Amino acid sequence: MSKKFDVVVIGAGPAGYVAAIRAAQHGLSTACVDAWQNPDGMSVFGGTCLNAGCIPSKALLESSEFYHRARVEFADHGIGVGKLELDLAVMQARKADIVRELCGGIGGLLKANGVTGLHGRGRLLPDKKVEYTPHDGKPELLEAEHVILATGSMPVELPAAPFDGERIVDSQSALEFDAVPKRLGVIGGGVIGLELGSVWQRLGAEVTVLEAMDTFLFMVDGQVAREAQRQFKQQGLDIRLGAMVRATEQIDDGIILKYDDEQGAHEITVDKVVVAVGRRPVTDGLLDPLAGVDVTARGFVEVDDECRTTALNVWAIGDVVRGPMLAHKGSEEGVMVADLIAGDINEMNYDVIPSVIYTSPEIAWVGKTEEELRQANIEYKSGVFNFAASGRAKAMNQAAGLVKILADAGTDRILGVHICGPLAGELIGEAVLAMEFQASTEDLQRTIHGHPTLTEAIHEAALAVDGRAIHAINR
């Protein structure tokens, strides 16, 4: 016999579990099916974000940053720590504890909200029926008024560097190393390449990042990307641009990475390779051909602005649909879809989604870059403030980097905010809120910021837009 629900969600990552909780809050009977199993065979909710993405990477970024600062910065503060030691097993155990606790928390939240959590695979059949196959059981039929697809994404594999799970690995395995590789090659100088490259470099690896594009962080405002690149270079991260990996060769003491750039053919020998060249949507085995859900040429589930698929009352959210592959983007889509199903009004503002790269310096931005505004022929004005003049950043020993604000030349409305520097990922929240409320730089100029805080840099950058910065010479 089939079980009936108002809503069945397939996938319990940050898109799916949030959609399920919101649907249940609306009083809709909701089930959430998720297939994730950790290497130890444990079934958990939370998806990539909690198990192999945002959370474990940030745990290791934090630990490795402490280690790095103890090694290179503590002496500046007059602190001696004697012989510094790294216990990677403890560091990894701390990360695993955080992941375990948070995953358990999601399970608890689903339960507390009355969501039926189901571990196993979901497959969409015609007419909003879902075939649910528990990991160790027979398929069951779930019937729903609405189905939400939230099956996420997985790493792209490079034919020139196929994963072997040991020496050529994806981002998930690169979070699990039990020893610091002496020489680490990273293919892809995007978000994952820089974050995970930073983790292992701080812990002592010689890291070489091979990036195919000629421009470093092409999606980031050029001025901010150049500043970040300068700082990464200073830290010893070897980033090679315009580098196309042609082949890999396994040898006794490592892997030879063969790549081409403008100068010709090159080879480097490393102990491990992390491939981080993007992620692809997961729809394998998800859609019965008669379910009526179209998939784009690049494999994403096709949706409109409200995340409706081509099948009536079937929705799709998160990494499996167009847009940036970010946890908070999927979560907000989950909230929107649950609200729409319940008959409420909701609309997602895709123009104001913040991005953060959790390296040191952190890089964070929202809205348009200067290059995008120029290309769109939009008249803009710009204000920049360097952290070098921020008392708080100096006190933190992190006074490199800048805040840049771009505003419409005519209306003064903020069009983009770009930050490279300490806690940029936290600071960007103010800019997101300002832009959500369609604020002008004058609004930011008039907002009182605590002293001494890093947020003063946002205040000063807003003032600089009109040549009125106080703690910088206006040019």
Closer by beta carbon to ligand NAD, 53 or else 117: 53
Closer by beta carbon to ligand FAD, 227 or else 332: 332
Q: Is 319 in the site for ligand FAD (CB under 6 A)?
A: yes
CB of 327 to ligand FAD, least distance (A): 4
Q: Name which position in 23, 282, 335, 406 contacts ligand FAD (CB under 6 A).
A: 282
Closer by beta carbon to ligand NAD, 56 or else 188: 188
If contact means CB under 5 to 8 A according to the sort of partner, which of ligand FAD, ligand NAD, none does residue 190 touch?
ligand NAD
Closer by beta carbon to ligand FAD, 13 or else 107: 13
Q: Is 150 in the site for ligand FAD (CB under 6 A)?
A: yes
C-alpha of 174 from chain center: 16
Interaction residues for ligand FAD, span 3-62 (CB under 6 A) = 10-16, 33-36, 47-49, 52-54, 57
Q: Is 152 in the site for ligand FAD (CB under 6 A)?
A: yes
CB of 17 to ligand FAD, least distance (A): 8
Q: Is 330 in the site for ligand FAD (CB under 6 A)?
A: yes
Q: Name which position in 326, 337, 373, 428 contacts ligand FAD (CB under 6 A).
A: 326
CB of 132 to ligand FAD, least distance (A): 8
Residues that bind ligand NAD (CB under 6 A): 158, 187-193, 195, 210-213, 244-245, 276-279, 324-326, 356-358
* Rg, C-alpha atoms of the chain: 24
Instruction: Look at residues 322, 321, 468, 458 and name the one whose alpha carbon lies nearest to residue 401.
Output: 458
Contact footprint for ligand FAD (CB under 6 A)? 10-16, 33-36, 47-49, 52-54, 57, 121-122, 150-153, 171, 192, 282, 286, 318-319, 325-328, 330, 358
